[in-house]
Chains A and B, each alone.
Chain A
Amino acid sequence: MTDITDRDLPLPAENRAPRTHGVLHWLRVNLFSSIFNTLLTLLALYLLAITIPPVIRWALVDAIWSAPNGNACRGDGACWAFVGEKLRFIVFGRYPYDQQWRPLLVVLIFVSLIIASCNRRLWGRRLGALWLGGLVAVGVLMWGGVAGLPYVETLLWSGLPLTLILAVVGMAFGFPLGILLALGRRSDLPAVRAICVAYIELVRGVPLITVLFMASVMLPLFLPSGFTVDKLLRAQIAFILFAAAYLAEIVRGGLQAIPKGQVEAADALGLGYWQRTRLIVLPQALALVIPPLVNTFIGAFKDTSLVIIIGLFDLLGTVNAALSDANWQGFYVEAYVTVAAIYFCFCFFMSRYSQMLEREFNKSRRR
């Protein structure tokens, strides 16, 4: 019938694609494609026009970058001098001033460990060993008392290092406990299952604040007289117990997604319950739920801000303390924005990472 078009000749005018490039086309399709869309665009532009310029004026144009005290810093703009003055206190809190290189090192260790964990090739025993070593180093650095480092009691630990320690140790210890709870909840033994279900539902049903209160107030009562429990340890135990319940549900989701055939194959090979769980079921289940696990860590990182209630000074506690300085009154916006930026950096990058992981996992699982 029709001859094949010779594709080496330049295309006749009627065969060239209609204009789909260029700024005008993009604007038409994305912003002004219909009356409704045009109205939305105009509304959005209006909102931006009334909010962005004042914010820029406040944050940059009228801002005061250095001042000796609060009164010299009052103007129309932001007082970034306050942040400059207080930043070290906000980040490191009440840790002895001359020893603050130690918590700084701790923060760097945590950040490098987190970044290293993002590299999939390192996953496995090596990473576990790295984390273990990292945590030991953190302990040595924060406490001191050995290797010539002066001892610093846990009450003085504050700011960003405290936030990281609470979140990381909470997850690190909560994770194995959560796995045990998940396995227990799926157990055939009714007594074990009942106790695990009761624990998980109890802890997940109450706010974190109550668990913190419980740990802070009741732990000393639980111990025989004469024993005292370090305040930080109480908070840490609360986080561990709290995280374990949420992690248990996530791991349980992964366990449920493993096809029965895997368990049957393991049984057919003669593996016992713990061998089968350790070698076959858990590795697959955990790999499936890594994105939700990362999300839980992000949540734990944000939840550490609650320890302000029991008198510990994490990042949020230090910033509130900084705001109570009589010489620098009323700069709460600058302070909170700064601290929000710190939290945002950590949480945003971790959530981006988790989204990337999810996309990769979905790609590999699609057949």
Chain B
Amino acid sequence: MAENTPEPGQTKIELRHVHKWYGDFHVLTDINLEVGKGERVVVCGPSGSGKSTMIRCINRLEEHQRGQILVAGIELTADIKNIEAIRREVGMVFQQFNLFPHLTVLQNLTLAPIWVRKTPKKEAEEAARYYLERVRIPDQADKFPGQLSGGQQQRVAIARSLCMKPEIMLFDEPTSALDPEMIKEVLDVMVELAEEGMTMVCVTHEMGFARTVADTMVFMDRGEIVERSPPKEFFANPKSDRTKLFLSQILAH
């Protein structure tokens, strides 16, 4: 997969000296990260390293206490207008899918375009069906989430985010809650998305996917970014001991 180096003015996400505490616990320490347009970043690390917390800070599902975060050129502060503007441009896929169980699949997809982007219903539904087609479950439009398998639900979740036509997609361990046989169908969709040039930040343990798709591998441990390099270098020549330890554990089988 071709590497993408961010051009100036094309940086989509910037984290500068970001710190976060839960009470006394320093969960993010001096995080500095830049993600350029079209860049695919995979974040990995042991549990509790702060990877999910970091990407959840990007769309303000968590608040950072110190440092600056800029998303699509907008600074992320307590200002609700900024937050809403950023959330419109950033799509998020959760580990637990979080589909709305009282709405059909189609309604799940059209809800945000109708109420946030004020799209007319017909247009929203056309777009929804298009994305359902893209994630390869066009015939499930009128079913309810409870009637779908885990892999199908996660693909619907991806389509739901895509319907908002975001500039950036965040994935928070998207396949960790799936049964093994369903992981591939979700990863295939994510690979397609990457191939089309979507800017992605993905927290995952799926190293095969990382090798295929990532432009940059980021290793986090105990709240810090320990190492950052292209996948070839990352897997072949990890610089830090902690990275080496983590890779040995995760690639052992």
Asked if chains A and B are in direct contact (CB within 8 A), the reply is yes
What are the interface flags for A1-39 relative to B under an 8 Å C-beta threshold, 1 for contact and 0 otherwise? 110110000000011011010000000000000000000
Query: Which residues on A sit within 8 Å (CB–CB) of B232?
Result: none
Stretch in B23-31, B36-44, B49-57, B147-155 with 4+ CB within 8 Å of A: B23-31
Which of B29, B66, B228, B239 contacts A5 (CB under 8 A)? B29
Chain A residues whose C-beta falls within 8 Å of the C-beta of B19 in the assembled complex: 14-15
* In the complex, chain B residues whose CB is within 8 Å of the CB of A5: 29, 224
Partner of B30, one of A1, A15, A17, A18: A15
Contact B26–A1 (Cβ < 8 Å): no
**Size of interface on A: residues with Cβ below 8 Å to B:** 9
Q: Which chain B residues lie closer than 8 Å to A14 at the CB level?
A: 17, 19, 66
Asked if A20 and B24 sit within 8 Å, CB to CB, the answer is yes
Interface pair A4/B26, CB less than 8 Å apart: no
Q: Is B207 on the interface with A (CB-CB < 8 A)?
A: no
Assuming the contacts A14-B66, A18-B65, asked whether A1 and B227 have C-beta atoms less than 8 A apart, the reply is: yes
Given A2-B225, A4-B226, A5-B29: A17 and B23 interface contact (C-beta under 8 Å): yes
A353 CB to closest chain B CB, in angstroms? Answer: 31
Min CB gap B28→A, angstroms: 11
B249 within 8 A of A: no
List which A99-148 residues lie within 8 A (CB) of chain B: none
A4 touches B29 (CB 8 A): no
Among B17, B24, B242, contact of A17 (Cβ-Cβ < 8 Å): B24
Chain A contacts for B227, CB-based, 8 A: 1
Is B100 on the interface with A (CB-CB < 8 A)? no
Residue of B nearest to A17 (CB): B21
Set B29, B226, B228, B242: member contacting A15, Cβ < 8 A: B29
B47 contacts partner chain A, Cβ-Cβ < 8 Å? no
**Beta-carbon nearest neighbor of B32 in chain A:** A2
Residue of B nearest to A7 (CB): B222
Partner of B21, one of A1, A2, A4, A20: A20
Tell me the bound Cα distance from A15 to B66 in angstroms: 9
Asked if B240 is an interface residue, CB under 8 A from chain A, the answer is: yes
Give the CA-CA distance A17 to B226 in the complex, in Å: 21
For chain B, the count of residues having a C-beta within 8 Å of the partner chain is: 19
A260-303 CB mask vs B (1 if < 8 Å, else 0) is: 00000000000000000000000000000000000000000000
The answer for the CA separation of A15 and B28 in the assembled complex, in Å, is 10
A17 to B225, CA, bound (A): 19
Compute how far the CA of A4 lies from the CA of B229 in the bound complex, rounded to whole angstroms.
16
- In Å, the complex CA distance between A20 and B227 comes to 31
**How far, in Å, is A4 (CB) from chain B's closest CB?**
7
Contact A4 B23 (CB under 8 A): no
| Nearest A residue (CB) for B242 | A4
Contacts of A4 in B (CB 8 A): 224, 226, 240, 242
Residue numbers in B under 8 Å from A2 (CB-CB): 224-226
* Chain A residues whose C-beta falls within 8 Å of the C-beta of B239 in the assembled complex: 1
Q: Return the CB mask of B66-77 against A: 1 if under 8 Å, else 0.
A: 100000000000
Bound together, the chains give a CA A14 to CA B21 distance in angstroms of 12
Q: List A contacts of B66 (CB < 8 A).
A: 14, 18
Q: Could you tell me the distance between the alpha carbons of A18 and B23 in the complex, rounded to whole angstroms?
A: 9
Chain A residues near B240 (CB, 8 Å)? 4
Say yes or no: A1 contacts B29, CB within 8 Å.
no
B25 to chain A, nearest CB (A): 8
Which of B227-247 touch A at CB < 8 Å?
227-229, 239-240, 242
Are B26 and A17 closer than 8 Å at their CB atoms? yes
Min Cβ gap A331→B in Å is 51
- List 8 A-B pairs, minimum CB-CB distance, nearest first: A17-B21, A18-B65, A17-B24, A1-B228, A1-B227, A20-B23, A17-B26, A15-B29
Q: Other than the known A4-B226, A20-B23, what 13 A-B pairs have Cβ atoms closer than 8 Å?
A: A1-B226, A1-B228, A1-B239, A2-B225, A4-B224, A4-B240, A4-B242, A5-B29, A5-B224, A14-B17, A14-B19, A15-B30, A17-B26
Please report B residues at the A interface, Cβ cutoff 8 Å: 17, 19, 21, 23-24, 26, 29-30, 65-66, 224-229, 239-240, 242
26 A-B pairs with C-beta separation under 8 A = A1-B225, A1-B226, A1-B227, A1-B239, A2-B224, A2-B225, A2-B226, A4-B224, A4-B226, A4-B240, A5-B29, A5-B224, A14-B17, A14-B66, A15-B19, A15-B26, A15-B29, A15-B30, A17-B21, A17-B23, A17-B24, A18-B21, A18-B65, A18-B66, A20-B23, A20-B24
Point out residues on A near B: beta carbons under 8 Å: 1-2, 4-5, 14-15, 17-18, 20
